[in-house]
Amino acid sequence: MVLKGNKDFENITINPDEMKVLLFTSGTTGNSKAVMLSHKNICSNIISVASIVKVDNTTSVLSILPLHHTYECTLGFLLVLYGGGNISHCEGLRHITQNIQEYKPTFILCVPLLLENIYKKIMKTLKTSLPKKYTEDESKIIEKLPFYLKGIVKRKVKKSLGGKIKTFIVGAAAIKPDIVEGFFSLGIKVLQGYGLTECSPLVAGNNDFYYKATSCGMPIPNVEYKIDEPNEEGIGEIIVKGPNVMLGYYQNEEATAKVLKDGWFHTGDLGYMDDEKFLYIAGRSKNMILTKNGENIYPEEIENILNDNDLIEESLVIGASNGKDDVQVKAKIFPNIEAIKEYLGNKIPTKEDISKVLSDVVKKANEKLPNFKHIKSFKIMDKDFERTTTNKVKRFGKNIDDDEK
């Protein structure tokens, strides 16, 4: 007698438009909201991405980020299963290097901070192992190498990353274009994207066919976006339409009505497009600083300039009262003490040393900005900022002083 088992699951009827997943937003600019997603939302995103990024049975992913975020759940988990790939799970942040060697991934999904740290280590190794004439300009190390050395360097870098790495998928925040170009020169793709929990999550992305290092990509198939009410610079709110857009916020009709209007999801993010529809993020509308003269200041732009300096670990730019019915730019800076120590000739820095070094960094940053965007004052933080589980700096709560809220 052959037992066929219970196969009732084969006859289950699935309503693709019914709420089946409840996920919370990361809460970088306020309290988290519960996002209602359907099977259709998530599956449409998987199918769209699978058509522009190759995922098959040769794909091996090292899962690092939390599965309760759509970025990791949809792209690092469900997409990989859909394509027939395999997934290894990281044992913890301090085990990443070891796990990469053990599991030899072809794909890694990560946030910019992790990739930037990997890149810094690679560049530091190259600078100590190659003749100085090749390493003076970090952005052109590979370009300057003679052909017989390029292949050796590329193989050694790949070996340090397990030997099979092909692609890093980067999301959650912007990454420096020179890092993207640097990895490409080493034969490793870095594909940056833009998404939100409310969009299951991906809206735009660089892919196997088209990419720009300075952009977060083009709209994925079956998803469209446009810039709502752009200003003279072409910057406006990014609004999105597609089968990936959420059903709404759970038990919060008021919040849902604010963002879902006439079939379009209003992201609250500011951005602009070039002639080829590549998307560029300017910042969050909630973060924008508006001066008395009507000038728009995007904190993220200034933070990117500050964070580009190795002497700064992280920064947070805010608008603070200048005591004259107007706002001015203020920065909070968490210094990179080890880098400052090296900068000072391996001298242990005093508070005065750190203040002087950071004053010079701020001065150089201001030279790259128009007067109305200049940082007027800064505060040195003695510990890192409060962060979300995807390592983004929270722009409220403990990171903001009471007189600046």
Tens of pLDDT along 341-370?
A: 999 998 899 999 999 999 999 999 999 998
Residue 400 has what pLDDT? Answer: 58
pLDDT digits (tens, 9 = 90+) for 183-220: 998 899 999 999 999 999 999 999 888 889 999 999 99
CA–CA gap between residue 142 and residue 122 (Å, rounded): 12
Q: For residue 389, is pLDDT > 80?
A: no
Say which residues have a Cβ less than 8 Å from residue 116's Cβ, sequence separation at least 6. Answer: 175, 176, 179
Which range, of 5-9, 204-208, 225-229, 261-265, averages the lowest pLDDT?
5-9
The band of 292, judged by pLDDT with boundaries at 50, 70 and 90, is low
CA–CA gap between residue 191 and residue 169 (Å, rounded): 5
Q: For residue 26, is pLDDT > 70?
A: no
Fold observed for domain 289-404: GMP Synthetase; Chain A, domain 3 (3.30.300)
CATH 3.30.300.30 boundaries in the chain: 289-404
Residue 33's CB is within 10 A of a number of other CB atoms, namely 18
SS percent in the chain: helix, strand, coil, step 5: 35, 25, 40
CA–CA gap between residue 264 and residue 256 (Å, rounded): 12
> Any idea what DSSP says for residue 295?
-
Q: Which residues pair with 328 in a beta bridge?
A: 320
């409840």: which residue's tokens? 22
Instruction: State the DSSP string of 124-192.
Output: HHHHHHS-HHHHSSGGGHHHHS-HHHHHHHHHHHHHHTTS---EEEE-SS---HHHHHHHHHTT-EEEE
Percentage of the chain exceeding pLDDT 90: 51
Q: For residue 73, is pLDDT > 80?
A: yes
pLDDT digits (tens, 9 = 90+) for 207-256: 888 889 999 999 999 999 999 999 888 999 999 999 999 999 999 999 99
* More confident call, 365 vs 388: 365
CATH code of the region 11-286: 3.40.50.12780
CA–CA gap between residue 215 and residue 271 (Å, rounded): 11
Q: With contact defined as beta carbons under 8 Å apart, do 320 and 328 qualify? A: yes
CATH 3.40.50.12780 boundaries in the chain: 11-286
